[in-house]
A = this chain, B = another copy of it.
Amino acid sequence: MGVTKKEKFNQEQNEIATVAKVFAHPARIAIIQQLFKLNACVCGDLVNEIGLAQPTISQHLKELKNLGIIKGEVEGTSVCYCINDEVWNKTKKLLVNFLNQNIHSEKNCC
């Protein structure tokens, strides 16, 4: 059906999955890395750097904006994007906490 049954899962599980989905495309990873490298970057420069069509980059930027980890500011005809530190740190905490899980039991089978 292509539709995820979110109601079967708790809020944390859904939040982790939602964040991971935004990270689940190399173009969005590349955009994030570029914004960290330059701190700020105009949309058109991202299009040149990454090599996908302008509407495609715009769509990826929109998903990153929806999650809140980037923000954009209009500068004339351009839009300058950068990382939203507050949201980035919250997101980082959520994922690092998940990744730092340890085995709770001694039982094992494989």
List chain A positions with a Cβ less than 8 A from chain B.
Answer: 4-6, 8-9, 13-14, 16-17, 20-30, 32-33, 36-40, 50-52, 71-73, 75, 80-83, 85, 91-92, 95-96, 98-110
- Name the 6 nearest CB pairs between A and B, nearest first: A20-B23, A9-B26, A80-B109, A73-B110, A21-B24, A39-B105
**Contact check: which of B29, B92, B105 meets A13 at CB < 8 Å?**
B29
The 18 sampled A-B contact pairs (Cβ below 8 Å) are A9-B30, A13-B29, A14-B26, A16-B26, A17-B23, A17-B26, A20-B24, A39-B103, A39-B107, A39-B108, A40-B105, A40-B107, A40-B108, A73-B109, A75-B109, A80-B110, A82-B108, A95-B99
Residues of B within 8 A of A20 (CB): 20-24
B109 x A40 contact (CB < 8 A): yes
A72: which B residues are within 8 A, CB to CB?
Answer: 110
